[in-house]
Structure 1
Amino acid sequence: MKKIAILSTLLVTSMAFAVAPKDTLVIQRSADIPTMDPGVTYDTASAEVVDQMYETLLTYSGSSLTKLEPLLATKWAISNGGKTYTFDLRKNVKFHSGATMTCADAEYTFERNLVTNSAESGNWFIAESLTGVQGNANDEKSVTWAVIDKAVECNNAGQLVFNLPKVDPAFLAKLAYTGQAIIEKKYTTGLGEWSGTEKDWKEWVGKDLTGSNLSKKPNGTGPYEFVRADANTFLATAFDGYWGKKPAIKNVISQKVPELAARQQAFLRGDADFIDGGGRSVDEAQIKGKPGVTWIDNLPNTTATAIFMNEKINPSGGLLGSGKLDGKGIPSNFFTDVNVRRGFSYAFNYQQYIEDVQKGKGKQRTMLLPDIFPGYDPKVKTYTYAPAKATAALKKAFGGQVWKNGFTLTANYRANSVPAQTAMEILKRNIEALNPKFKVILQPKQWSEMLAASKKGEEAMMLMGWAPDYADPDNFMYTFYASDGYYSPRANWKDASVDKWLKQARSTVNTAQRNRLYSLVGNRAYEQAPFILIPGGIDYTFFRSNIKGITAQNYNPMISTRWADLSKS
């Protein structure tokens, strides 16, 4: 009770700190924390706190994206031709409840993720590994209780055993994802969550865990334990029973402060140690170089972004105009002609985007894959801004009808997103400059509405990105390029050779073979131009200079900064 009373006092007084106390980390964020249940953690705000309270079997080693090291596991073995994984679990690990972690807890964790799996939960990719399909039992008849029960088991030696239906070269990387953190079975079922048995499993299939009882009362094995939270503030304290190195920072306060100016002022005063910034141009102008600020630049960027050109535009979206190539609209299959796609790709000014949006800190990529990921091929050709080549391609499109008749294309962009608006305006300006009969109408639209419409194929063009769930090229390549990939309904591009190569890459653990296959996909995508590849940014971070423990050498873009690794001078 004394601990909670002290932290409650910190909550009240934290906004008035002259300088955040040495034993307390103060974070100011721009948004809510949607959930604290690992089973549905699929956003960065939630992951930031879940990563501190819970732990996974494996984690990334230092700054490496390819080397994994044990966390709650101590070692593992792969057998049965790459389809069976057996893990030894760390002994004497305590949950915040005081209970000792057992294999039964780990088994329950993964079975719960398979039962409640949904695209929104982020468990679709672990489900694909363990059940063979992305969907849950409501989506796929093949997902039965017997399949889930067999997928993950504890053997007589207390080891955790995964039984995969087929080889998955990305499986270990998937286990390092925050959403696969281990929870305590007895504690969780005691809160009224799924029992862990066949008795009530169907009642929990696909269930949204965002506001679960576990989210309200988190209980992990991590270095920090939950104290309390309200709409604006999250409080945690170092867990005395933690099995690993004891944190130097005792208390953590994470506050929701929506106004950027207020966050900036608190940070520059020293009231906050970390804040959500406002993007490179804003942060460079307002934060970089100020007294008491450490700025680390030229960090790896692990997102990939493109302008999608939908080859099967759903007319229900109301964006086709006349629906014909008569200058007053476009047909729903407008982007099926490769010459249209090539013309648009040549019309985008990539260097201008780097200068205007990324302030010169950007890099044109050859594939929709971060250039630090395995499988990235820098030798794949890229499109450049070339009006003459754009003109030549569009003169060929639809047997010359595009150039002769012109078109009116209506495209939406994410409201209040400067990068999205700027990218679409660059494309609009350059397309319309090619031919006075070409018209591009841009409209802002709420992001939630765009996501829903794009899933139904209603958006003609849209800028969309992907951040990795796990550090394996499959998470990008299959997502973007496969005809049954996550983004397929947005682009409706299909290439039989690409599908074949992507499936082959999923069925081998031979890195050289996978890299060769991804190069084939990259080269084929260049030829067919299904997307306009937006240059990748160059990341940076900043924090108060009295914070120790963060360097460019130990920075890993796949995981949140661990509070337990930090100290304050």
Structure 2
Amino acid sequence: MKKFAALGTLLILTTALAAAPKDTLVVQLSSDIPTMDPGVTYDTASGEVVENMYETLITYKGASLSQLEPLLATAWKISNNSKTYTFDLRKNVKFHSGNTMTCADAEYSFERNLVTNSAESGNWFIAESLLGTGSNANDDKTITWARIDKAVECNNAGQLVFNLPKVDPAFLAKLAYVGQSVVDSKHAAKIGEWSGKEADWKSWVGKDLTASKLASQPSGTGAYKLVRKDANAALFTAHDAYWGKKPAIKNVIIQKVPEPAARYQAFLRGDADLIEGTGRAGDTDSVKGKPGVVWVEGIPNTSASAFFMNQNIKATGLLGSGKLDGKGIPANFFSDVNVRRAFSYAFDYAGYIRDVQDGQGMQRTVLLPDTFPGYAANVKKYTLNTNLAKAYFQKAWGGQLWKNGFVLTANYRAGSKAAQTAMEILKKNIESLNPKFRVNIQSKPWSEMLESSKKGQEAMIVIGWAPDYADPDNFMYTFYSSNGYYSPRSNFKDASVDKWLEQARSTTNTAERNRLYALVANRAYEQAPYILMPAGVGYLFHRDNLVGASKANFNTMISFAFTGTFWKELSKK
């Protein structure tokens, strides 16, 4: 009891400390931690803590995005024409509860993800691999308990076996995602989670686990375990029975500090070792070059962002008159490729890199990180060209668009200076082409914009994607397939693109996959379904007494994006 009392006091008093203690890592975020349940971890704030309490079968090797190494597994083999994966599991691994990890825990974890799967949980892509569909049993009545039970099972030798219905070249990368962590099945059942049995599986189908009992009472195999959490802070301490190397840092405190100025001040005083910044411009002005601060440039950017031009807008409130009469736009305004090309030529990419990204950015050819396999560097790129923009606008809709003009209303994420500036650049350039062109831009709360765009109700928004797994499929299928996650937001559909993406999903031949992705990239340039936002060059900053947060160790697939590594790899001098 004394140990918990002391740690509780530390949690309360940390903000008043002259400097964070040597055995304690203090991190300040702008918002809270949505969940601590791996089964529904699908945001970076949750991932940053869950990946340190729980562990996956395999993980990324160092900074590599292509090399995977064992974690809770010790080895694996692939058979049955790449449709069966068999894993040997690590012995004598203890959960935070004291229970010993067995194959049954791993089987339970994956079956739980398949049972509770929803688009919001992030388990849709493991369901695609193991069941052949991203749906759950409520949405797809062909999914039975027998199918789920067969997809993942323990054999007589205690090995974990995955049985895929078809080849999935991205399967191993998917297993490294934090949401596929192994949970303590005995502990979960004891506190009232799914039993892991057929008897009650139906009642858990599609269930939201955000506020589950496991979210408040986690038990993983990771190097750190939860001590306590409230609305503004969470305290973690090293897991004494951890199977791996003992962490150098004993305690980790995550604090919610919404005000950026307060985070910057705490960081510069040394009260916080790591903080969530506000973007390159704000971080540069506030902390770069200041005493006690280490600034690291050249961190790979593995996200991709774009203007979405919705080809089937379902919200009449954004359409004005709903016609090409100069007072609005029709719902299929962006279905004319000439409109999309005109918009693409009207954006000032170089100016955005110069003014918003302080010159630290690059134009990509396709919505795929340039560090990922499959990136096609030789595809043409749009540049600001007002003459071509004008020419395509004059072609659009048989000349009626240029003659009558239009009024477009576009929303951007409230509080996002980058998205607002991008919209302002586009608005200015388009309205300068024709006095009858009007682009009205307005801010909208992020949660509302996500929900309305998912329903196809936004005309044009700026939105991005961060990878779930380090495979080109996670971006290319998401953005460009008519069955992809973002399809309802863009309503882009091209039969050739769909065919090429499905073919890329069905082969393990890397050269063939790269060829198919290049075809998609070239077709996307021709059809211009998106205006590609320049990708900013990544960076990180931390207190100079923190060891282990370096460019050499940084892996962009680690959710703890402040350092690109796990807490257990850090120390303080």
TM-score by length of 2: 0.98
SS in 2 for 1:435: coil
Q: CA deviation digits over 1:160-194, x for unaligned, max 9? A: 00001110000000000000110111111001000
Give the match for residue 75 of structure 2: 75
Give the match for residue 431 of structure 2: 432
Aligned partners of 1:549, 1:491: CA distance in 2, in Å? 41
Q: CA deviation digits over 1:232-288, x for unaligned, max 9? A: 111111111111010011111111111111111111111111111111101000101
Give the match for residue 211 of structure 1: 211
Aligned partners of 1:200, 1:361: CA distance in 2, in Å? 53
Matches within 5 A, 1:382-421: 382-421=381-420
Aligned partners of 1:267, 1:534: CA distance in 2, in Å? 31
Give the match for residue 40 of structure 1: 40
Greater Cα shift, 62-71 or 555-564? 555-564
Give the match for residue 312 of structure 1: 312
1:32–1:256 Cα contact (<8 Å) kept: yes
Aligned partners of 2:393, 2:253: CA distance in 1, in Å? 56
CA spacing shift, 1:154–1:337, aligned 2, 3 Å: same
Matches within 5 A, 1:135-534: 135-314=135-314, 316-534=315-533
2:28–2:254 Cα contact (<8 Å) kept: yes
Q: Report how far residue 2 of structure 1 moved.
A: 2.6
Aligned partners of 1:240, 1:412: CA distance in 2, in Å? 49
- AA in 2 matched with 1:568: K
Q: CA deviation digits over 1:497-544, x for unaligned, max 9? A: 000000000000111100000000000000011100000111111111
TM-score by length of 1: 0.99
Q: Report how far residue 72 of structure 1 moved.
A: 0.1
Q: Report how far residue 297 of structure 1 moved.
A: 1.1
Aligned partners of 1:331, 1:250: CA distance in 2, in Å? 60
Aligned partners of 2:217, 2:322: CA distance in 1, in Å? 53
1:317–1:453 Cα contact (<8 Å) kept: no
- AA in 1 matched with 2:480: Y
1:346–1:390 Cα contact (<8 Å) kept: yes
Matches within 5 A, 1:105-144: 105-144=105-144
Aligned partner of 1:563 among 553, 567, 570:
567
Aligned partners of 2:114, 2:35: CA distance in 1, in Å? 18
Aligned partners of 1:483, 1:125: CA distance in 2, in Å? 16
- AA in 2 matched with 1:465: G
Aligned partners of 2:320, 2:250: CA distance in 1, in Å? 61
SS in 2 for 1:541: strand
SS in 1 for 2:81: helix
Q: Report how far residue 356 of structure 1 moved.
A: 2.1
- AA in 2 matched with 1:493: F
Aligned partners of 2:320, 2:184: CA distance in 1, in Å? 56
Give the match for residue 96 of structure 1: 96
Kindly tell me the number of residue pairs found equivalent between the two proteins.
568
Aligned partners of 2:501, 2:185: CA distance in 1, in Å? 37
Aligned partners of 2:386, 2:255: CA distance in 1, in Å? 49
SS in 1 for 2:252: strand
SS in 2 for 1:135: coil
Unaligned runs of 5+ in 2: none
- AA in 2 matched with 1:216: S
Q: Report how far residue 158 of structure 1 moved.
A: 0.2
- Identical pairs, percent: 71
- AA in 2 matched with 1:371: D
Aligned partners of 1:396, 1:69: CA distance in 2, in Å? 54
Aligned partners of 1:509, 1:66: CA distance in 2, in Å? 14
- AA in 2 matched with 1:446: P
Aligned partners of 1:247, 1:71: CA distance in 2, in Å? 16
- AA in 2 matched with 1:64: S
- AA in 2 matched with 1:349: D
- AA in 2 matched with 1:384: T
Q: Report how far residue 226 of structure 1 moved.
A: 1.3
Aligned partners of 1:434, 1:543: CA distance in 2, in Å? 46
Aligned partners of 1:263, 1:283: CA distance in 2, in Å? 11
- AA in 1 matched with 2:568: A
2:311–2:333 Cα contact (<8 Å) kept: yes
1:59–1:68 Cα contact (<8 Å) kept: yes
SS in 1 for 2:471: coil
- AA in 2 matched with 1:40: V
2:316–2:322 Cα contact (<8 Å) kept: no
Q: Report how far residue 397 of structure 1 moved.
A: 0.9
Q: Report how far residue 217 of structure 1 moved.
A: 0.8
Q: Report how far residue 12 of structure 1 moved.
A: 2.4
SS in 2 for 1:74: strand
- AA in 2 matched with 1:160: L
Aligned partners of 1:456, 1:550: CA distance in 2, in Å? 40
Unaligned runs of 5+ in 1: none
Aligned partners of 1:349, 1:270: CA distance in 2, in Å? 40
Q: Report how far residue 363 of structure 1 moved.
A: 0.6
Q: CA deviation digits over 1:31-53, x for unaligned, max 9? A: 10111111111111111111111
- AA in 2 matched with 1:562: F
Greater Cα shift, 516-525 or 133-142? 133-142
Q: Report how far residue 3 of structure 1 moved.
A: 2.0
- AA in 1 matched with 2:533: I
Q: Report how far residue 361 of structure 1 moved.
A: 1.0
Aligned partners of 1:477, 1:489: CA distance in 2, in Å? 15
Q: CA deviation digits over 1:342-393, x for unaligned, max 9? A: 1110000001111222111111000000110110011010000000011111
Aligned partners of 2:371, 2:442: CA distance in 1, in Å? 34
- AA in 1 matched with 2:516: L
1:115–1:137 Cα contact (<8 Å) kept: yes
1:300–1:539 Cα contact (<8 Å) kept: yes
SS in 1 for 2:225: strand
